[in-house]
Structure 1
Amino acid sequence: MANENGGDGDLDKEVKTCAVLGGRGFIGRPLVERLLRLGNWIVRVVDAAKSPELKPSESLLADAFSSGRAAYFQVDVRDISQIIEAIEGVSVVFYTDSMDSLPPDFYCCYKIIVQGAKNVVNACRECKVKRLIYNSSADVIFDNVHDVRGGDESLPYSGQFWDMVADLRTQAEALILFANDIDGLLTCALRPCNVFGPGDKQLLPLLVNMAKSNWAKFIIGSGNNQSDFTYVENVAHAHICAEESLRSQMVTMSGKVFSKSELLFVMSITFTSREEYLGLKFLQVFFITNLEPMEFWDFASLLLEGLGYQRPVISLPAWVVHCIVYLIKLLHVKSDSRKLDLCASVFNIYALASRTRTFSCSAAQKHIQYSPVVSMEEAVKPTVDSFSHLTIDSPFMRYKDSNEPSKVEKLLGSGEDILLWRDEKKSFFCFLVLALLYYWFFLSGRAFISSVAKLFLLISVLLSGHHILPLIGYGSRIPRLSSSCFEISEVDMRNSFFTMKCMWDKLDCILKSLAQGEDWSTFFKASSFLYFCKLIVPHHLNAAIGLALVLSFTLCFVYEQYEEKIDGIARVVYSIARKTTILLVRKLPMPLAEKGYNQHTSFDNLQ
């Protein structure tokens, strides 16, 4: 289909004129830029803003305005005369209604979305426009109650909408599809799912707003619900693919025929008779995605981590979140608008993340030859970069793109993946195993020797069973453990004994130093440690080991997040402790070795 270097085939060599309604919106901007890059389009940028307000990065559009390849029209879609003036003489209209700046009032939204769609269709018919491509949404078939897995164009409109805008866009889509093949106008609707990218004012700001609150640590729902996402450049590309298919007439745009209930719905909002409807045979509508469905929270974590926020780790059931949000709304319905905004953000995330929403693009691939031009991996970086103003300064960001490891990584060596929760599944599994061992040895009430004996007995039974079961016909997918798993190499044994010898030599040196009274600092360290053990071991050993287990999986993680603050506090504490120790040591008697040395020196001096 279309390519950025000028297209293919003779059809792409002719100069064509189009109008992009909503041309300064989230989807309109990349669509306009893509059309201009093709080189054979004269583009009319139509939007409600008074002026295009070009960004420094939009040099291509600025040059197009200067050269006459582009023109700007301020249009209110509620006024059909303004639309006619903007699209007079064009052959194609791309209708990308902007959802960024809709008023909260239902009547105003209805006038802009539904009445605007009616005006656009009537204006196109009056101006003899050949093709109208409308940017709809996958939300039109979603009711927030049932999962959608691999949904295709045969799915009916939901009829029960979780969002006012989704309801109104459904009516607008039906109006535009109903106008297909009337007065020579061919129409088509595209349904992208969860559009994201630079300039997004809905999905990513919604996630960041939640990340800044206390909800940032929670995964709403099971966390396993998959969703389709669509990069904005791919949506723009799909519009051009749809226009080429309509223009070339090489394919029959076969979306679906309305069902009886949908027929009544269309007739009610278009005020047409059944006889008028029967002239319409096929409706052209296609789902558009990146063809890479993924778990919603994995996608959210990619974006949030890129901005320095930590990925959520604690799962909350969806019904609990729903109840909490509903309760907060009741308590703050007239007081705190910020809390209400946060509730709205959490509810929207709840709606997106608590259900599976994946769609099939096979119809779009077959009939309009659509395929993504930007993969998910390539799409994340420019999206995050465009929201750099929302980036927070965190240790995660400092080490994200740096080869320099953090202090904790240097200290832990190869253990950072587990203790720093780099791999959450591995960390949780290790913590669970250690917690079970802690229960087995310390909380079960058995003697330590008895616990060890029973653990070895259990291991022996499991190993024997694993060896015997495959021989008696049950089969086993787990391979048998080879004898090499129980062997220790000579090198490992030597290293182990060498390490033990070094530890013993160090302990021996410390004991000699204590016995000779050579180092008061070592004495204080040893005596403090022994006194601590005296307090803990007889009465609180179980609690101390449990606390150590928890702290070992949290302290390193917390320290990496607040490294500078903790280092500052540690420096102050260390300085106070050092000064206190120096003052205390000065008042203590001189070590015996130093006394003998000083006496011997004084005697030599006398002689």
Structure 2
Amino acid sequence: MNHPEPAAGPVLVTGGCGFIGSAVVRAFADAGREVRVVNPRCRPFRDDVQFLDLDIRNGAGLAEACNGVETVVHCASVVQTRNTAQHEMWEVNHGGTRNVLDACRRGRVRKLVHISSASVVYEGRDLEAGDEGLPYAKASLSAYADSKIAAEQDVLEFAAEGSTSACALRPHLVFGPGDTRFLPNILRRADGAGIREVGTRSKLSDFVYIDNVVDAIMAAEDQLEPGTPVCGQAYFVTNGEPIAFFEFVERLLTAMGYPPVRKRVPYWLAYAGAGLVEAFHSVVRTGETSEDGLSRFAVRYLNTHHYFRIDKARRDLHWRPRTALEQGIQQTAAAVTR
């Protein structure tokens, strides 16, 4: 007698009120899964989702939240290219991830999809068609990248224990409706003094539309089983359509009715200015601050190639980016101007 497959169990999403996390929550809830969100000071946005006002630095609370959970999607992260919040980044990005791993052990969670970053392999030099064979960056460029490296290493080592099937996804410059960081920063500048292009458009960057990231997360969760090629692996997740950073910004702005980018700042001047701004912040500010692109890490990032192959994700996850870059740009512009 054939027995029906058991229904997929609950999904817990850390950082489920953030840009990526909220999109993941909606996708799993729409698919009929029971979803729990772990996020401090989060305003619930769906009646069919359980929202827990909980910081992942609270290990005991996180372990309790993971009871009965089949899959954890770990999105929670502090993202900042300056180092004024390095204490918070290490506490959340690395320490919080270690709490997630412990909660998975204690709660006998079957699957873990960890959202890492493509910056874990970036050393300030050109990366052209990089793949997962690249080593972790040894040059420390920011506390964010360093903390994400440590977190991803812990996740992949944890996968080898065999108690929870785990993998890491490395999205690069995620954009789309609901963005709370990248797009708002661009619009603030466009509405203020205007966008100033840094350097030239000779360097290419990868971007990835939010729906493609969510698809990759759900595909990874579906493929994660003991003994499969996915367990213990990291995957770059991009649109696979590299483009100059300010070409992308200009396309997005013109789709929203803004004029083309006309102003330009030489690389050396932007880098020196970013150094002065960072020095100022190191003296008068600590903790998280709003991102404005004025960090040496960001300026260097804008003026190096950083794009990646996605063959491994296509092969192992049976995933492909279904929303093309231009379609994503138009959908983002329509959502913002609606």
Question: What TM-score results when the alignment is normalised by the length of structure 2?
Answer: 0.87
Q: Residue 37 of structure 2 corresponds to which residue in structure 1? A: 45
Contact 1:131/1:185, CA 8 A, preserved across alignment: yes
Q: CA 1:324–1:74 in structure 2 vs 1: closer, same or farther (change >3 Å)?
A: closer
Q: Residue 223 of structure 2 corresponds to which residue in structure 1? A: 245
Asked if 1:18 is matched to 2:11, the reply is yes
Query: What is the one-letter code of the residue matched to 1:26?
Result: F
Contact 2:77/2:93, CA 8 A, preserved across alignment: no
Q: CA 1:342–1:291 in structure 2 vs 1: closer, same or farther (change >3 Å)?
A: closer
Contact 1:209/1:342, CA 8 A, preserved across alignment: no
Counterparts of 1:92-491 in structure 2 under 5 Å? 92-99=71-78, 104-144=84-124, 146-214=125-193, 216=195, 218-247=196-225, 251-253=228-230, 283-326=232-275, 344-345=293-294, 347=296, 349-388=298-337
**Shift, 1:230, TM fit:** 0.7
Q: Residue 30 of structure 1 corresponds to which residue in structure 2? A: 23
Q: Which runs of 5+ in 1 are unaligned?
A: 1-9, 55-60, 65-69, 255-282, 390-607
Range with bigger deviation, 319-328 or 90-99 = 319-328
Contact 1:20/1:95, CA 8 A, preserved across alignment: yes
Contact 1:206/1:349, CA 8 A, preserved across alignment: no
Counterparts of 1:577-592 in structure 2 under 5 Å? none
CA distance in structure 2 between the aligned counterparts of 1:359 and 1:372, rounded to whole angstroms: 14
Query: What is the one-letter code of the residue matched to 1:44?
Result: R
CA distance in structure 1 between the aligned counterparts of 2:282 and 2:79, rounded to whole angstroms: 25
Identity %: 27
The root-mean-square deviation of aligned C-alpha atoms, in Å, is 3.0
Range with bigger deviation, 309-318 or 195-204 = 309-318
Q: Secondary structure at the match of 1:154?
A: coil
Contact 2:80/2:291, CA 8 A, preserved across alignment: no
**Shift, 1:231, TM fit:** 0.9
CA distance in structure 1 between the aligned counterparts of 2:24 and 2:307, rounded to whole angstroms: 24
**Shift, 1:239, TM fit:** 0.8
Q: CA 1:43–1:180 in structure 2 vs 1: closer, same or farther (change >3 Å)?
A: same
CA distance in structure 2 between the aligned counterparts of 1:138 and 1:45, rounded to whole angstroms: 25
> Relative contact order (alpha carbons < 8 A, sep ≥ 6): 1 or 2 greater?
2
Contact 2:62/2:103, CA 8 A, preserved across alignment: yes
Contact 1:21/1:95, CA 8 A, preserved across alignment: yes
**Shift, 1:116, TM fit:** 0.6
Q: Residue 80 of structure 1 corresponds to which residue in structure 2? A: 59
Contact 1:26/1:98, CA 8 A, preserved across alignment: no
CA distance in structure 1 between the aligned counterparts of 2:171 and 2:7, rounded to whole angstroms: 29
CA distance in structure 2 between the aligned counterparts of 1:187 and 1:295, rounded to whole angstroms: 33
**Shift, 1:100, TM fit:** 6.3
Contact 1:100/1:201, CA 8 A, preserved across alignment: no
CA distance in structure 1 between the aligned counterparts of 2:80 and 2:199, rounded to whole angstroms: 30
**Shift, 1:384, TM fit:** 2.4
Figure out how many residues of one structure are paired with residues of the other and give that number.
331
**Shift, 1:315, TM fit:** 4.6
CA distance in structure 2 between the aligned counterparts of 1:98 and 1:116, rounded to whole angstroms: 9
**Shift, 1:331, TM fit:** 8.6
Q: CA 1:215–1:321 in structure 2 vs 1: closer, same or farther (change >3 Å)?
A: farther
CA distance in structure 2 between the aligned counterparts of 1:150 and 1:285, rounded to whole angstroms: 16
Which structure has more helix as a fraction of its residues?
Answer: 1
CA distance in structure 2 between the aligned counterparts of 1:139 and 1:92, rounded to whole angstroms: 25
Q: CA 1:321–1:184 in structure 2 vs 1: closer, same or farther (change >3 Å)?
A: same
Q: Which runs of 5+ in 2 are unaligned?
A: none
**Shift, 1:372, TM fit:** 1.2
**Shift, 1:252, TM fit:** 1.9
Query: What is the one-letter code of the residue matched to 1:232?
Result: I
CA offsets 1:541-596 (integer angstroms, 9 cap, x no match): xxxxxxxxxxxxxxxxxxxxxxxxxxxxxxxxxxxxxxxxxxxxxxxxxxxxxxxx
CA distance in structure 2 between the aligned counterparts of 1:203 and 1:124, rounded to whole angstroms: 31
CA distance in structure 1 between the aligned counterparts of 2:321 and 2:18, rounded to whole angstroms: 21
Contact 2:56/2:92, CA 8 A, preserved across alignment: yes
